[in-house]
Every structure is written in C-alpha cells, then in structure tokens.
Amino acid sequence: MIRLFQLLALCLAISACQKETLVEKANREGIFLMGNGAEPKSLDHQMVTGVPESKIVGALFEGLVGDHPSDDAATPPGAAESWTHNEDMTEWVFKLQPNGRWSDGAPVTAHDFVFSYHRMLSPALAAPYVEMLYFIDQAEEFNKEEITDFEKVGVKALDDLTLQIKLKEPVPFLPSLTRHYTWFPVPRHVIIQHGEMSDRFTDWSEFPNLVGNGPFKLAVWRFHDLIEVERNPYYWDAKNVHLNGIRFLPIENPYTETRAFRAGQLHTTYRLPTDLIRDMLENEPEQLRQEPYVGTVFIRFNTTRPALSDPRVRQALSMTINRSDYCEYIAEGYTPATSLTPQMGEYSAEPMLEFNPEKARQLLAEAGYPDGEGFPRYSILISRPAARAGAEALQAMWRQHLNILVDIQNKDWGSYIGAQQSLDYDMAAAGWIGDYLDPTTFLNMWTEGNGNNNTAWHNERYEQLLDEAAVQSEPARRFDLMRQAETILMKEQPIAPISWYARNYLLRPEVKGWYPLLLDNHPWKSVRLESSASPSISTE
C-alpha cells in the first residue's frame, strides 16, 4: 500500500514538476493571497461587525483618515487631505481630496459622507454597529427616534469638498476613530439606484454593483470560495498602490489554512493554532509572526451570584491566577495582563493585578470561606474547544491555592453569548478586542445597562469619572481620569483580566510594507510583493 502511494506520488511529482506554486504565480502577477478566516456577512460595511469583513472593506473603501503602514499613532491623509478642529475638539472640519473618486469615476463629495452617516443612523436601517457614530452630536437621539430631523445631527457638507462634524463631547482621537469602517462613506449615487436609502440589503453591495472609494474594487465573489479585488484606477493615490489585486480566502479551519500556507497557496494566514506555534518556531521561524494586538482575555464574573457578589472573593480568584505561567504554557505569545486596558499610545493603566496566593486565601477567609470551606461549586463557561485548556488551568490554580472546586461548562456560541447576556452563568472565559486606539473602547462597556457589560456590576464613582473624562479636552487630564476609573474597576474586579492578546500568524518573507500594528489594519496600498525574495518553502 505504501509502495502504491509512493508510486502515485512519483507520478504526480513528475506531472507537477514544471508547475509553480500558487504563491509563485501570484508573486509574478502581483496578487496577494490571504487567508481571511470566514465568509463575510456582507460587504455593506454599515451592516457588519466582524474582523474578516473589515479586511475586505479596507481594500474597497477608505475613511477620512488613512492608516500608516507601521505607526499606529500616525494619521496620514485618507479620503480627506487635511482637517482642523476647534479648541475643545468638539467641532472638526475635514477637507476632502480634490481628486477623490469612486471606483466608477464619480467624485467623492462631502455630501456622500453626510448621506452615509444619515443612512447608518436611520432607525429603519437598524445598523448593528451604529453606536460607533454616537460620538456625533444628536446622532444617538436621531437613531433612537427622539428627534426626526437629520438637519439637527452634527454632520454637514459646507461645500462639495468640506465636511463639518460636530461632536457631543470632545473626542481628541476622532482622526483615529474615523479609520474604523463604520465611519467610511457609502456611494449615494449607487445606493439610491438600488433602493431607498435605509433599505436593508439591496443588491448595491454585491458584485458587480458595488462601488467603493478605496484602492481596490470588487472583481469576484463566490461564497465560501473567494473574494477577489483588483486595482481601482480612479483611486486618488493609485500611483502608490503596489499590488494588482488581493484574493481573500474564507478558510475557517485554521489547520487547513496552515497547510495551505505551507503548501504555497497563501501569502499570509488569518491565524495560527496555538499547538502549531512550536513547530513553526523550530522549522520556519522566519515565517512566524507574533505581534501584540489590542485585546484582553479575561474572566467575567456574574456579580449576582451570592459568593461572587463580594469583591474580596473576586479579588481572591484573580490573585490566584498565575498569569505568567498561563501565557507561557496556554496562551503562547500573549502578555500577562497587569490591568484591563493594554498599553496604547500615551495611556497606560496602573499595574494592579498581582499573583499573591497568601493574600488571596486571607481575603477568601474574610469573605466567609476559610480554606475554601462552604464555597459554592461554580462553573466556568466556555464556547470553544480551544478555551478548555485555559479553563482547566484556572481550575487547577484555584484548587491548589484556594481549595475550591469549579466545573467547566461548554456551550455552543449562541448559548454562550445568550447565557452571559441573561446573567445565566457563574464565570465566563471571555475577551474583548478594541475598536480604536483609545482606552474608552475598553472602559465604557462596564457602565450600567451597557449591552456588553453582562456582569451586573456598576459603580457610581466609576461612571462619574468616565463622564468627567468624556468632557475633558486636555489629553493628560483626560487620561488621568480614565486611569482613576480603571483603578476602581481593577479593585472591584467584576472581571479578572488574564492576558493581553497577541496575533500569531504566518507571513511569507516576500511580503513587504507589512509591519506589526496594534489594530492589525494593514493599509493595503502599502503592501507589496518582492518575488525575488521568495525562498523555497520546503521544510526538508
């Protein structure tokens, strides 16, 4: 049987020996091949919330401010060539690129942006990510139908190329915020051809109707097979676009994706399974990327559970998590968290989290559970098989240091989310990825009634500090208030942060113009392929 296989392999090798790999062919053609994790829900970026969608949308559309290939803080021009703001940063004026064009040649105007925000905020559209626009004055009121006149919302086209945005409070990070796809424009002239402004899912966003203002335009879309984009000749900065096209492959199985990469079918992968990291480190370290990513892994506590309502118990549980061991053995490449918000720009939170089993035992005793006696048998809720190892590590740590037993409860994704939203859980292994580079993306969710809180915890002083920070336009003072708020959060611990995310993935050496970025939004126009750098990918 083995002989037969070898013979078959030999025949195939002979037939295939003249053939170049898909990556080599793509290098020649200037096409980038990317594993993209999942089939996008839609390419109407006002209707989606996911990361795979954001990668494709980033090729097809462009926000007011562009992404820099290597500097997270930099704000290069995008659809706007320049911008100014008033003293307290509540009023911003963006000057659009004079030669900005949609991929059908129509000019990109400030009216398109006003139309886009009007559409996104329209109650009838029911855009899932609409809260990202609530920074705009009266936007929330309009979306919740408290006002019906869009004229009152703080966006206005002063002329064809000048867009004015009035905010409800100072937002010093507005340029960074507009890099999020919820702020990208949609083509008014195309949308109204295919239906009313606020019609959900007309076919404007399908091939061949979709028109964007980004460096690429849609060329092929086959479900669960591939989405291909090609150069947009009308793009204002087309001369600085290097690639001729990008193929996004929605490969859901990470092992399949890794095999495809190693077989020369991909330039980069969406992810790398943790158990393959060591193998890559040993065999092909030059293709492995381990980069910080703005996200935090944490344990969410249901503070309505009797024992977990006591902050001392939550602290005790958190203090017995050995975070460095966790990152070394379970979450490779991740950094032990010292607070909730990872370091971003000028902001760094007080390091509050420590590993101190002795103090933890003392706290647990004070809370009425000396040596874990009488502590209820709770369970950790998880939803992916990959989360089991982490939950088992916590199980062992708590048993060893606090003498308490917890179970692991595995639910499918929908039930896992549903259980947290209805507070029908004890503890849940969870995580949060930042939407933009400002601490508010991590801190605002722990307020009363926030749909992402799901701990039943709230604190007046915490919310007061965040409110004060929100109206503060002086950056240092603003961050200081947030730091104080985060300190309260980390004392109370409705969540126990464990580690800060890293992105483990594979990237071929001939890909240039691709640098580590906290939000992982690599500007497609800067990416290029140097085919001469292509090495043999054989491991033998």
The residues that touch other proteins, with contacts defined as CB under 8 A, are: 1, 5, 9, 12-13, 15-16, 21-22, 39, 41-42, 44, 47, 49, 123-124, 126-131, 143-145, 200-203, 205-206, 222-225, 249-253, 255-257, 259-260, 262-265, 412-415, 417-418, 421, 450-452, 538-540
Closest contact distance (angstroms) between CB of 7 and other proteins is 12
> Which residue number, 5 or 105, has a Cβ lying nearer to other proteins?
5
Contacts of 24 (CB under 8 A, 6+ apart): 264, 531, 534
**HSE, side-chain direction, 13 A CA sphere, residue 71:** 6
Closest contact distance (angstroms) between CB of 350 and other proteins is 27
Closest contact distance (angstroms) between CB of 462 and other proteins is 19
> Which residue number, 163 or 246, has a Cβ lying nearer to other proteins?
246
> Which residue number, 130 or 171, has a Cβ lying nearer to other proteins?
130
Closest contact distance (angstroms) between CB of 67 and other proteins is 21
Contacts of 440 (CB under 8 A, 6+ apart): 466, 469, 470, 482
Query: In the chain, what is the greatest distance between 2 CA atoms, to the nearest angstrom?
Result: 78
Q: Determine the residue type at 323.
A: R
Closest contact distance (angstroms) between CB of 42 and other proteins is 5
E-strand stretches of 385-461? 406-410, 427-433
Indicate the DSSP class of residue 237: T
Burial class (CB in 10 A: 0-12, 13-18, 19+), 382: buried
For residues 361 and 494, the answer to whether their CB atoms sit within 8 Å is: no
State the Cα–Cα distance between residues 445 and 439, nearest whole angstrom.
11
Closest contact distance (angstroms) between CB of 259 and other proteins is 4
Q: In whole angstroms, what separates CA 41 from the centre of its chain?
A: 16
> Which residue number, 84 or 223, has a Cβ lying nearer to other proteins?
223
> Which residue number, 380 or 404, has a Cβ lying nearer to other proteins?
380
> Which residue number, 249 or 299, has a Cβ lying nearer to other proteins?
249
Closest contact distance (angstroms) between CB of 429 and other proteins is 13
> Which residue number, 160 or 252, has a Cβ lying nearer to other proteins?
252
The two tokens of residue 168 are 């409800």
Closest contact distance (angstroms) between CB of 110 and other proteins is 26
Contacts of 405 (CB under 8 A, 6+ apart): 377, 395, 398, 399
Using CA atoms, how far residue 56 sits from 38, 210, 255, 503, in Å, is 11, 12, 22, 19
Helix axes 475-492, 460-470, angle to 10 degrees: 160
> Which residue number, 405 or 537, has a Cβ lying nearer to other proteins?
537
> Which residue number, 118 or 312, has a Cβ lying nearer to other proteins?
118
Closest contact distance (angstroms) between CB of 408 and other proteins is 18
Q: Which of 448, 43, 521, 538 is nearest to 291 (CA)?
A: 521
Using CA atoms, how far residue 480 sits from 19, 352, 475, 531, in Å, is 60, 15, 8, 48
